[in-house]
Every structure is written in structure tokens, then in C-alpha cells.
Structure 1
Amino acid sequence: MNNKILEQLEFVKVKSLFAAYLQTEQGEQELAALVPMADEKKIRRSFAEILDVEHIFTEEHSFATGQLQDISASMQRLEASADLNISELLGIKQVLQLTAELQHFYTDLENVTLTELQRLFEGLRIFPQLQGSLQAVNEAGFIENFASPELAKIRRQLNQREEQVRQLLQDFLKKQADFLSERLIASRNGRSVLPVKNTYRHRIPGVVHDISASGSTVYIEPRGAVDLHEEISRLQADERYELQRILHDLSQLLRPHVDSLANNAWIIGHIDLVRAKYLFLRDRQGTVPAVSKDKTVQLLAARHPLLADPVANDLHFADGLKAILITGPNTGGKTIMLKTLGLAQLMAQSGLPILAAKGSKIAVFRQIFADIGDEQSIEQSLSTFSSHMTQIVAILSKADADSLVLLDELGAGTDPQEGASLAMAVLEHLRLLNIKTMVTTHYPELKAYGIETDDVENASMEFDQDSLRPTYRFLQGVPGRSNAFEIARRLGLSDSIVAEAEGLTDRDNDVNQIIERLESQTLESRKRLERIAEVEEENKKFNRAVKKLYNEFSHAREQELLKARRQAQEIVDKAVTESDEILKNLREKAALKPHEIIDAKAQLQKLAPSADLSQNKVLKKAKQSRTPRIGDDITISAYGQRGTLTQKLKDGKWEAQVGLIKMTVGEDEFTLAKTQQGKQQHKKKELNVVKKVNKMNGPKARLDLRGKRYEEAMQELDAFIDQALLNNMAQVDIIHGIGTGVIRQGVTQYLRRNKHVKSFGYAPQNAGGSGCTIVHLV
């Protein structure tokens, strides 16, 4: 397809309408490169893909691919034997994760038969080992300790040395507070230092790193901390080297799979683009047109995609019809109708839905040519007529029977009689070559040509005689008639002048009376068709209303039961909360053992049986979707580490890839990590119930309270400590974040009051710092 037609009809702007629905950079790149095709099979395949997505949305209304960045540069670096950085690994990790999610989505898809997208979903390849290895790089760009035993050892030593430095400086704060200007630990040049009064600078041996502006304070690194800091620097160098080695090993693991990873990324991007096509169709009331086997074009309720409030028009361009001549006054919408036809063909031949009603058809043209607008050039000494004729000459030299030609104001810009003659000659030439043509013109001579010539049809844009304004309605089969005398009379021109003008006009050759009768008949037929359409729409609404009432009646009983269960559960939850408060008070006032408290809680919970949700369809589906399978991301309960299931073993055991390490775990030793689709589904209240129940399965050494409300966080903390005591855990981690400090303060107060907490303190800086508290239990 020639680029000029794409520029004239602003095809790039049309494609930008689809960009708002895209989620992946791969989809954006494919949309940018999208051009019209002349291959009928490819066009039909593109339309079938859109219909496949439509079928998917009937079952899964929230179907999405997820966001994805372009990894083509990373693939090229791998092919060039270069090592990837952390951000590049995160991009590939996202590809692997979305690949697994889409394949699982396709596997679980029921009651939907796919024709074209099936081969794409089945073309996705999952790599559980690679997924598990890349779990060592978390979403924040931090390489986890379990990435390698050496890294874990180095960081453990770093934590120990940093703890020794903190302890050393804390001792100085306690024992030699009089020498300090402030009782705090400062930082200078990456070292922890003490703010010492200048008068006591010789009382604390060490290295001076800075002096305050007033000179009254000297920042000293005590001698004991110097050696520790030197060792910390050495360990940090070892850590950097080990991180580089890990990145190299991960890159080596990915290198043999470059082609498959690139193909997965392309498939995800392509599915994302097809999804965007469907969402555009749904939101703009578009359609997927049929592809005619001949040159028939039929557009029903067609609209221009770039207009804010376009008027819908029907266009019937049958196979045997060679030309349509649109006549009428300026600003009536003739050019818009011309562009609507051109854009509908460009969009459809690019595999995009069009803004039209169902039943529309498009033909496949090898080329589309257009001469639209005035392109006169002072520099090239081209008048309006010359510029039009230059383009028409170029079109006539290239167009053939597989072309569509759109000509705006054919023959304009010169003597009317000569221009009309040239226009008819050009049209006759195109007709004899069997080239489909749509033309707009002002010349009345062309009306007669359209009536007298075979395979040529007149058309016009409707004009409201009462308001003297165009309605932008397309009237096919009716030529445009002159409204000059009526408009002049309504605008106040003297009746005598108008009458004299009418007398000077050759009424015998005027076809206005014939046109007026044709308009009347066409309008009457249109009114009847509109009435039929209204009746059909009323029938559809009635049918939808009946179905809606039937569905509401069918589900009323289940909804009422579910409502009753929820109310009962609220009462139970309130009773459990009150019992927790009672036990909490007893624990503070009496020396009860942890297992006695937990047993008491269990007895109280038995008093209120939980709601039977086994027959709830939503919860059953949620439960089934959490069955472990190869490629699932998991969290090892005992260590809180992320991994991926790679193989199912005997006796319910699984092989999992955790960083660069493989390990065997039972189904009771891990929980499934949340996926992108899982995160959306867990927003529902019913699935939250399942999540809370599953969350308590198996002992865990880490609790994450970030994003929780204060009351909810305190309840989870209390249950978590009870669980840890029951499982004889000596140490647990509580992640509360920094934020406003409310959760962190609540955690601190709770731990101070709990008699079973031996000690607690903030985690090392590289392991969360003040956003995480490490708790040692009795």
C-alpha cells in the first residue's frame, strides 16, 4: 500500500486510538509497524483472532496480559555473549512469569473454542528452572541472599560486623556520653562516627572524618570501629564480586533460550494487540467486517473514527457497480463520506475492526489511491487545477482492477464546462478499466452521466430545507439538487430577483423535479427501515430484560444464602475478636503457657462453626485454581524464600528451583505465590476468606504487615506470634515498613508487653533496616 494514502487519510492518528488499550511495549511496537495488507488469508486470520478474544471475554471479563517491557535489546546482548544487568533480568523474569500465567489461563479456560489464538497460546514455552533461578532477583532489584551459598555467607558476616560496630558505638554512647556533643551515631564518608566535643577529641582515640562549621564538634571513628569498617569494606567488595558472578551465571542460564524467550515476548505482545483491538471494538461499538470474495463493499452505519460525534451512514458498493458520484453543496459531508470509505478499507485490511454495524463487508484492494484536498504550490507554480491533474495523472498510470480510487472535487479549479468534460472522460476511463471509484463533484453534467451510464450511480448528502443546514446523511441513488433559489429566497433576496433568475434558467433541462421525487421516495424508505430497526431493537431489549429477570430469579436463593452466611460469619468474627481480647488480658495478668493460650483459642472457635462454603461456585473455582503445577511460583514456608516448581515427584513431593539451588519439598511445605491474575481476583471478599485460611497453613518465620490497617495488623501479629510459639521457633521477622510509623510503634509496644519475647531489634540496613524487626522468642 502506498504511503501517500496513509498520510492523506491520517491512518497514524487512527492507530493511536488503539494505543490506549495496550499494556506491553511489544504490542506498541507491532501497532506502530501495522500497515494494510493485500493478503486475504492474513486479513481473515486477524479478524478470527479478534473474535477469539471476544469469546474469551464472555467467560473471563478481566482477561489481560499484564505489563511488559521490551526485551529485544537484552536478547541481542545475550547473543553477543554479554552479561545482563538486574533491570534486564527483571524484564526477562516478567516475560517468564506472564508466559506461565497465560499458559495456565489457557489450560483453565472452559466453554471457549479458539480458532487462531490456540496456536499462539500453545506456542508459549515455560521454563520453570529459569523462573526459579530468577526468583533470586526480587522486584525491587535486590539480589536475595539465597541466590548462592557464598552470597549468604558474605552477607551474614557483613551483618555481624555491622552489628559489632553498632554495639561498639552504643557502648561509647552509654559510657562516655559526657565527651559527646550529642548522644547519637552520625555518618561521614560512609563510616559510622561519634560527634565528640572538640575539647575531648584526644580522649577518644580514632580517625577524625569531619569537623562542624563552628569547630565545636569533631566527628571521630573510634579505633575499634576502624578495623571493623575495613573488614566491612572488604566484605562489601566480596559481595560486589559475588553479585557479578551471580549475574554472569544467570546470563549463562538464559543464553541457550534466547529464541524461545524472544518468541514468548512476541506472542504476549501480539495477544495484547489483539486484546486492544477487541476493547476498541467494544467501547466504540465497532465490528469485525466480513471479507467479500469479489469487490463488494457494504458498510452499515459506518462512521469516521476521528470525528467526535460522527453521523452513521450506509454505503452499498456492489461488485458490478464501478463508480459512485456524490453531488451537492459544500460543507455537506461529501469529503467525509469519501474518507470514511477509505479509512474503513485501510483499517480492515490492516486487521483492525471498523466503526460500522454487523453485516458490513469489505473488499481486498491491492492499492488505494486518493486525490483529496487542495495541494496547490507556489514554489512549483501549480494552481489548484494543476495540482489535482498532476495527482490524477499519477493515479491513472498506476491504478488497475485491484485498486480503489477516491477523487474529491474532480475537475475543479478550471472552466466549469471544460472541467465537467474532463471529469466525465476520467470517469469513463476508470469505468472501462473496471476500477472502483468514488467521486465528489459540483458539476450538474455529471448527474446526467450517472443516470445514463451503466455501472455508475448517483448519490448526495441530505440537506434540510427548513433549517438550510446539511444533515450529513448519505443518500445513495439520489443526485444532489441545487438549492440556490430556495436558500436565496429564505435569506431575504427579493422575490422579483429570484423569479427573474428562475425565468432565465432552462427548466426543461433541469432535473431538480426528478431529484425531488427521488429524495421523497428515499426518505420514505429510510423512515420505514428506521421503524423496522426500532422494532428489532425493542425486541432485543425485551429479550435481554427477560433473560436478566430469569437469571436474577435463578440466583436469588443462592445470594440470600450467601448473605446469611456472611452475616453469621460477621457474628463469629466479632465473637472471636472479643475472645482474643479476653485471652490477651489473661496472658498479661497470668503466667499462662503459649500452648495453653492457643488451646483456649481453639476451644472458643469451636463454639462457632464456620460457614459451609463448599457449594459456593466462586470459592470452588478459587480453590481449584490454587492446585500446584509445574511453573507455579511458590514461597517456601520454613524460610520465606521464593522459588518455582519444576517437576512433580512421587508421594506428593515436588522439585523446586530456588535461586541457583534445587530442592525437594512437600505440598505442605510451601504456599503458592500470588500471580497478576490472582492479585486481581483476591480483591473479591469471598477470595479473601480463602486467602486468610490458606495463609495460616504451615509454620512461617516472616510476617508482612505493610499496607494493613492498624487493627488488622495487630490481630495478625498476635496470631503470628502464637503460631511461632506453637512451632517452637526461636526467631521470626516482622516486616512493618517505615511509613507513618503507626504500625511500627504498635509492633514495638506489643513485643514489649509479650512475656514470651526474649529480645527484639531492627534488622541490618541491607536487610530492611528500621522497616523490619527481628524477634527472639523464649
Structure 2
Amino acid sequence: MNKKILEILEFDKVKDQISQNLLTSQGLVELAKLTPISDKTRIQKWFDELAEFGAIVQENGPVPLSNTADLTEILRRIELDASLASQEFAKIKKILRLVNETRRFFEQVVNVTFPVLATTLDKFVDVAYLLGLLQVIDSAGALSDTASDKLFNLRQSIKKSDSEVRKIMVEMLSKSQKYLTESIITIRQDRPVLAVRSDSKNKIPGIVHDMSASGQTFYIEPNRVVQLNNDISQKKIEEKNEVARILRELAEMIKPHIAAIRQNTWLIGQIDLINAKYRYLLATRASVPSISDHKAIKLYGARHPLIDPKTVVANDLIFDQTLDTIVITGPNTGGKTITLKTLGLAQLMAQSGLPILAETGSQVGIFTEIFADIGDEQSIAQSLSTFSSHMTNIVSVLGQVDSKTLVLFDELGAGTDPKEGAALAISILDFLKSKHAKTLATTHYPELKAYGVESEGVENASMAFDIDTFRPTYHLVQGVPGRSNALEISKRLGLDNSILEEAAGFLTEDEHDVNAMITSLEEKNQQLTESVANIRLLEKDNTLLHQDLSKALVTFNRDREKELNKARIEAQEIVKIAVDEADTILKNLQEKSLLKPHEIIEAKHQLGELAPEIVDLSKNKVLKKAKAKRGLKPGAEVLVLSYNQRGNLVRLAKDGRWEVQMGLISTKLSEDEFEPIEPEEAVKKVKTKAVKKSVTTSIKAQLDLRGTRYEEAQKMLDDYIDQALLANLHQITIVHGIGTGVIREMVREYLQRSRHVKSYEYAPQNAGGSGATIATLR
């Protein structure tokens, strides 16, 4: 797509509006690169991703995105083996954590399928290993004391020595008040000093580090702390070297994964951009259009995105495949230019995968190029007139158009003699028609009204004018050419009738007929517009009625299946009694040797098949969804599926989950983790593994899996999580050791998969490091 059209239609200003919804640096980069394309498959994929994303957010809440830094320069420096500060590693860690949270969010999505968006999400690379490495960087961006044993010992020693120095300085401060000008410990050249009067400087032996401007005060470091401070300085140098060593090692370990980090940051940018598009769609009441196979454009209630929403006028613009050209005629200041720009901008936005400001059901075409000649193109530098500038631009456009081109011409042929200008405009439109280019042109030449009526594939249009208020309404009227209202306006303004009558006499009979025809067309168009509005209102009502009927049908089918299931259960019980009785009879017959063994088995099998199959409603997703929407409220009795225990709903939390009270135990559950129980419904409690194990508040917050086999460890972990949840533990530690990494990997996969786990990370170095994992439960 040529860059000039982006400038003419101010596409970058639309991108600026969308950028207000971006949260990450990566999203800003992706938006900056966004330009219109002509690949229909790719555009449709963008639209499908946006639609699926919207459905996910509506059902599951917002995606957990947050502000992030641009890693481009940081990653490049790692590749060049340059030194990095710990704060830069913290920026990498923040991105990787965001990647983990985003992946987990989409893995836990319920009630929505998103096959197209999933193809993008599948490109995320697992970053658990890298997050484990970066645990040595704390939330403030500093290197943790536990990053190495040496660093830990050095920092502990420095703290101890600092404490000793301060103790000595405080003691000397209290004993030497009469020699001091200030009763405080101050710092000079990174050393703690006392402010000693010049006449008492020999009373406190030590090193003079500074002197006041007046010469009355000497800043002395007492000899008692000199050696201690020397030791501290030496240890700080060792600490600095150790920090640099650790950061270099960290960079070396991250370096092989640079490509994966770049991939993940790019994907975060993609998700952030989709999120920004969706938020823009909601804020502007925009919609995702369909894509035409034949360059047809159908915009319903289209609005210009850069005009104040309070004053912008929405217009329908139907430019189907039977039309090559639409000519908007009529006087200036009626909104013709805005109509051109609205169409062009809607196409640019759609071909960039952005929602357009139009009603649902709108349609766009796909064009390889969009050309425009809009506004004052006069060039003073080239000493060209307005007409010459326009014509230079038009000549350039005509040399590039084809059947996949959209052309927008404003005031075509203006700036020269009216008759020559009109003739030139008609010839240009004929040329564009011969190329089968889609053309929307505005003009005030009356000759083009006849051209629009007489030419095949061409349609007239105009901008409505309110004769009562003398104001344009900015509403587009298709199929009706514009007409001059000069005589009518002059009459209402009080111009003498004799002048008006003489002016009317100068008009030809054809011109009178044309004005009468236009008036008739306007009346018919108004009637048609009202009819279309009524039809669309009926369509909306029908849509709502269809939705209500669909819901009623789901409810009816659910209730019918429930009643049928009751009947099947009763029938099965009857058959079971019959089978038992038949079994007794067959046993007696067998004892009397009247039947052979295989005949008895076959007879019992046939009797057993008489029992009807019971439908498992718990596995019916439609019914489950319907059940969840029946209207849960505090106090309602529910059955917690994972423990087969009855409980009562307490309150609905902000995260959408319910607080459920099961006896003395309180927990938070999503709606798919429990089922409502009717007051009279009897639920048989099945003894599950979780029930067999007595719930006790004495459960430890740590599970040790070292020395266990894979299957045994997996079972232990599963049982332990159940017990921890029932005991309402918030945080647990799982000790798996390092070894071959098999048990550690199993633990990581289990925690990542479990919906009860909010987050997890390796333990600090002084608490086991990568040999233990700390998990936070929901």
C-alpha cells in the first residue's frame, strides 16, 4: 500500500488512538509496524483472533498484561558478551513472568474455544527454566544475598563490620561532645567521621578527611575504626567482583535462550495488540467486518474515527459488485469529502486487521492499492496552480490503477472552466470504469448528474440539505443526485420575487425537469429509508426472539432429558429386580440340569440388556453451562464435585469464584467445580480418596518426594495437593531434589496444569534452590 494514502487519510492518528490501550513496549513496536495488506487469508486470521479474544475476555475476564520494558538492546548486549546490570536482568525476568502468567491464563480458559488464536499461543516457549535462573534477582532489581555462598558471607560480614563501626562511633560521639562542633556522625569520602573543633583535633587521633570552609571544623575518622573501615572497603570490592561474576554467569546461561526470549516477547506484543484492538472496539462501538469476495463494500452506520463521537454523523454506504463508480454531486460544505475519507479509512483499518467504526454486518473489500486526490494540492514551490497540482496527481494515479484498486477523487475536474472540467471529469471516470477500478468521486458539476443516470455501473449520490434550517445534515443519500437550492434559499432569505422569477426564467426546461425529478427521487428515497429502518428494527427484534427461543429450547431439552433419565432409572430398578428373580429361577433350573451353562449365561445377558442406558448428564457441556446460569446465590446448597461433599455458597468473590463453606472448611471454587442441589434432592455420597483421608489442620506445609519412584511421587503429590486445599494452606513447598530432573519436571508439569495452583517458583538458594519448588494455592 502506498504511503501517500496513509498520510492523506491520517491513518497514523487512528493508530495513535489504539496505542492508548497498549500496555507493553512490545505492543507499541507491533503497532508501529502495522500497515494495510491485501492478503485476505491473513486479514481474516486477524479478524478471527480478535473475535475469539473478545469471547475469551467476556467469559474469563481480562488478560493479565502489564507494563514491560523493551528488551531489544538488552538481548543484543548479551549476545555481544557485554556487561549487564542486575536491573536489566530484572526487566528480562518481568517479561518472562508475564509470559508465564499469559500462558497460564489461556490454558485455564473455560466455556470458549479459540482454534485460530491457539495457533499463535502455541508458539510460546516454556520459560520455567529461565525464571528459575532469575530467582536470584529480587523484585527491586537487586542481586539476592543468596545468589552464591560467597556473596552471602561477604554481605553478612560487611553488615557485621558496619554494625561494629557504628557502635564504636556512637560511643566516641557520646564521650567526646566537648571536642565536637556537631553531635552527629557524618560521611566524608565514603568514611564515617566526627566533626571535631580545630582546637581539639589532637584530642581525637585519626585521619582527617575534610575541613570546613571556615577552618573551624575538621572531619576526622577515628583510628579505632580505620582498620574496620579498611576491611569493609576491601570486602565491598570483593562483593562487587562477586556480583559481576554472578551476572556474567547468568548472562552466559541465558545467552543460548535469546531466540526463545525474543519469540516470547514478540508473542506478548501480539497479544497486547489484540487486546488493544478489542478495547478500542468496545470504546468506539466498532465492529469486525466480513470480507467480500468481489470487492463489494457495505458500510452500515459508518463513522469517521477522527471526528468527535458526539458530533459525527453515521452513514450507510453500499458499494456492491454491480457498481464501478459512485458520484456524489451537490454544493460544497455538505460532508462529501468526509464521506470519501470515511470510506477510505474504513478500508485501511480493515486491511490492517483493525475493527471499523460501523455497525455489525458491515462488509469490506480487499484492494491492492488505494489512491486519493483530496484537498488543496497547490504547489507554490513548483509554481503550479491548484488545477495543475490536482491533474499531476490524477495522471500519476491513472497510470497505476487496475481492477484491484480503490480510487477516491474529491471535486474531480475543479479549478478550470466548468464545461471543460465536467467533460474532463466524465472522461476520467470512463477510463477508470474501463479498468474496473472502484471509484468514489465528488463534484459540483451538474453535467455529472446525467452521467450517473445514463451510465451503466455508475450511481448518483448526494448529501442531504435541510431547507428549513439552511444547514447540511451530512447524511448520504444514494441513488439521488444533488440539487442546487440557491433559488429556494434566496426566496426564504427575502430576495425580491421579481428577481427570483427572472432568474427562474433563465433556467432551461430540462433544468426544471431535472430539479423536479430530483425532488421526486428524494421523496421516494425518504420513504425507502424509513422502510429499511423498519425492516432492520424487525430483524433486530427477530434476532432477540431467536435468542430467547434458543434458550427456552435448551431449557426444555434439559428438563425433558432429566425426566427421561428418571424414568430410565426406575425402569432399570424394575429390570434389576426382574433379573434377580430370573437369576434365582435359572439357578434352580441349573440345579435341575434343565439348561446348559452357556445357555444360562446367554439368558442372563439378554435379561441384563433390558435395562435402559442412563444418560450421564454431568458430561453434557450444554446442560452444565445452563445449570451454572440458573441463578446461584449466597446460602444455596451445592455439591463440590472434586470431594463429593455438600456445602453452602457464602459470597461471590471479585475474581468470579464462589466462597464455599463445607463444614469447618472454607474454600474458593469456580462454578464448574460444583453443582447446585435442589432442597429435596438426595445425593449419595461416594467415598472418594479425598473423603477417606481425614482432614486435619496438622498437615505440614512441605512435601518431600526425594527417593521416591515417578509413579509413587505423582500419587503422593496429587494426594498432598488435595489435603493442602482442604486444610486451606496458602503456600506449600515441594522438595524434589535435583538428581536427574525427572521428578522436578513432573512436579513442574503438575503445578502448571493444576487449576488450584496460582503460581509457583523455585525456592531461594538458601532454602533449596532448584531442588525445591514453592507453590501458592488459590
TM-score range, shorter chain: 0.7 to 0.9
Partner of 2:417: 415
The residue type paired with residue 346 of structure 1 is L
CA contact under 8 A between 2:60 and 2:110: conserved in structure 1? no
Larger Rg: 2
SS at match of 1:123: coil
Higher relative contact order (CA 8 A, sep 6+): 1
Partner of 1:185: 185
The residue type paired with residue 356 of structure 1 is A
2:770 is the alignment partner of 1:672? no
SS at match of 1:141: coil
Please give the residue correspondences for 1:359-438 in structure 2 after superposition, counting only pairs within 5 Å: 359-438=361-440
Partner of 1:479: 481
* C-alpha RMSD over aligned residues: 3.5
Deviation at 1:565, TM superposition (A): 5.3
CA contact under 8 A between 1:133 and 1:659: conserved in structure 2? no
2:656 is the alignment partner of 1:656? no
Partner of 2:634: 558
Deviation at 1:137, TM superposition (A): 1.4
How many angstroms apart in 1 are the aligned matches of 2:13 and 2:253?
Answer: 43
How many angstroms apart in 1 are the aligned matches of 2:220 and 2:160?
Answer: 22
Please give the residue correspondences for 1:561-580 in structure 2 after superposition, counting only pairs within 5 Å: none
**CA pair 152-612 structure 1, distance change in 2 beyond 3 A:** closer
The residue type paired with residue 558 of structure 1 is P
CA contact under 8 A between 1:646 and 1:656: conserved in structure 2? no
Please give the residue correspondences for 1:720-731 in structure 2 after superposition, counting only pairs within 5 Å: none
Please give the residue correspondences for 1:245-256 in structure 2 after superposition, counting only pairs within 5 Å: 245-256=245-256
Partner of 1:506: 508
SS at match of 2:414: coil
Deviation at 1:186, TM superposition (A): 2.1
Of 177-186 and 118-127, more deviation after overlay is shown by 177-186
Deviation at 1:648, TM superposition (A): 3.9
How many angstroms apart in 2 are the aligned matches of 1:646 and 1:329?
Answer: 77
How many angstroms apart in 1 are the aligned matches of 2:321 and 2:413?
Answer: 26
CA contact under 8 A between 1:325 and 1:457: conserved in structure 2? yes
CA contact under 8 A between 1:128 and 1:657: conserved in structure 2? no
Deviation at 1:211, TM superposition (A): 3.5
2:306 is the alignment partner of 1:208? no
**CA pair 64-566 structure 1, distance change in 2 beyond 3 A:** closer
Deviation at 1:19, TM superposition (A): 0.2
CA contact under 8 A between 1:289 and 1:361: conserved in structure 2? yes
SS at match of 2:26: helix
Please give the residue correspondences for 1:2-13 in structure 2 after superposition, counting only pairs within 5 Å: 2-13=2-13
Deviation at 1:203, TM superposition (A): 2.2
Deviation at 1:86, TM superposition (A): 2.2
CA contact under 8 A between 1:459 and 1:477: conserved in structure 2? yes
2:280 is the alignment partner of 1:280? yes
CA contact under 8 A between 2:463 and 2:477: conserved in structure 1? yes
SS at match of 2:532: helix
Partner of 1:317: 319
How many angstroms apart in 2 are the aligned matches of 1:563 and 1:513?
Answer: 76
How many angstroms apart in 2 are the aligned matches of 1:233 and 1:666?
Answer: 36
CA contact under 8 A between 2:648 and 2:662: conserved in structure 1? no
Partner of 1:302: 302
Give the alignment partner of residue 326 of structure 1, picking from 325, 328, 332.
Answer: 328
TM-score under structure 1 length normalisation: 0.74
SS at match of 1:364: coil
Deviation at 1:343, TM superposition (A): 0.5
CA contact under 8 A between 2:335 and 2:474: conserved in structure 1? yes
How many angstroms apart in 2 are the aligned matches of 1:219 and 1:619?
Answer: 72
Deviation at 1:170, TM superposition (A): 2.4
Partner of 1:588: none
> Deviation string for 1:239-263 (max 9, x for gaps)?
1111110110110011001111100
> Deviation string for 1:555-585 (max 9, x for gaps)?
4642789999579xxxxxxxxxxxxxxxxxx
CA contact under 8 A between 2:635 and 2:650: conserved in structure 1? no
How many angstroms apart in 2 are the aligned matches of 1:331 and 1:314?
Answer: 19
Partner of 1:229: 229
The residue type paired with residue 70 of structure 1 is D
CA contact under 8 A between 1:129 and 1:657: conserved in structure 2? no
CA contact under 8 A between 1:655 and 1:663: conserved in structure 2? no
How many angstroms apart in 1 are the aligned matches of 2:369 and 2:733?
Answer: 63
Deviation at 1:77, TM superposition (A): 1.6
**CA pair 564-105 structure 1, distance change in 2 beyond 3 A:** closer
Partner of 1:121: 121
How many angstroms apart in 1 are the aligned matches of 2:326 and 2:163?
Answer: 86
Please give the residue correspondences for 1:701-720 in structure 2 after superposition, counting only pairs within 5 Å: none
How many angstroms apart in 1 are the aligned matches of 2:627 and 2:465?
Answer: 47
CA contact under 8 A between 1:148 and 1:661: conserved in structure 2? no
How many angstroms apart in 2 are the aligned matches of 1:564 and 1:348?
Answer: 46
SS at match of 1:195: strand
Partner of 2:265: 265
What percent identity do the matched residue pairs reach? 42
How many angstroms apart in 1 are the aligned matches of 2:731 and 2:131?
Answer: 13
CA contact under 8 A between 1:193 and 1:221: conserved in structure 2? yes
SS at match of 2:440: strand
Partner of 2:341: 339
CA contact under 8 A between 1:461 and 1:471: conserved in structure 2? yes
How many equivalent pairs are there? 618
> Deviation string for 1:192-236 (max 9, x for gaps)?
122334443222211122334555543321101001111111011
The residue type paired with residue 404 of structure 1 is L
CA contact under 8 A between 1:648 and 1:655: conserved in structure 2? no
How many angstroms apart in 2 are the aligned matches of 1:671 and 1:483?
Answer: 77
The residue type paired with residue 469 of structure 2 is S
How many angstroms apart in 2 are the aligned matches of 1:660 and 1:615?
Answer: 33
How many angstroms apart in 1 are the aligned matches of 2:279 and 2:226?
Answer: 63
The residue type paired with residue 331 of structure 2 is P
Give the alignment partner of residue 453 of structure 1, picking from 452, 455, 459.
Answer: 455
**CA pair 208-637 structure 1, distance change in 2 beyond 3 A:** farther
The residue type paired with residue 762 of structure 2 is A
Please give the residue correspondences for 1:671-690 in structure 2 after superposition, counting only pairs within 5 Å: 671-672=775-776
**CA pair 664-257 structure 1, distance change in 2 beyond 3 A:** closer
Deviation at 1:103, TM superposition (A): 1.4
**CA pair 78-661 structure 1, distance change in 2 beyond 3 A:** farther
How many angstroms apart in 2 are the aligned matches of 1:36 and 1:254?
Answer: 36
CA contact under 8 A between 2:87 and 2:142: conserved in structure 1? no
Partner of 1:685: none
**CA pair 455-32 structure 1, distance change in 2 beyond 3 A:** same
Partner of 2:700: none
**CA pair 637-210 structure 1, distance change in 2 beyond 3 A:** farther
CA contact under 8 A between 1:300 and 1:314: conserved in structure 2? yes
2:499 is the alignment partner of 1:490? no
Partner of 1:443: 445
SS at match of 1:227: helix
Deviation at 1:636, TM superposition (A): 8.8
The residue type paired with residue 2 of structure 2 is N
How many angstroms apart in 1 are the aligned matches of 2:177 and 2:170?
Answer: 10
How many angstroms apart in 1 are the aligned matches of 2:511 and 2:201?
Answer: 115
CA contact under 8 A between 2:303 and 2:342: conserved in structure 1? yes
CA contact under 8 A between 1:21 and 1:280: conserved in structure 2? yes
How many angstroms apart in 2 are the aligned matches of 1:106 and 1:513?
Answer: 63
The residue type paired with residue 402 of structure 1 is K
CA contact under 8 A between 2:289 and 2:364: conserved in structure 1? yes
Deviation at 1:655, TM superposition (A): 9.4
Partner of 1:169: 169
The residue type paired with residue 297 of structure 1 is I
How many angstroms apart in 1 are the aligned matches of 2:628 and 2:721?
Answer: 32
2:519 is the alignment partner of 1:519? no
The residue type paired with residue 519 of structure 1 is E
Deviation at 1:155, TM superposition (A): 0.5
Deviation at 1:658, TM superposition (A): 3.9
SS at match of 2:483: coil
CA contact under 8 A between 1:613 and 1:619: conserved in structure 2? no
Of 512-521 and 112-121, more deviation after overlay is shown by 112-121
Give the alignment partner of residue 531 of structure 2, picking from 525, 528, 533.
Answer: 528
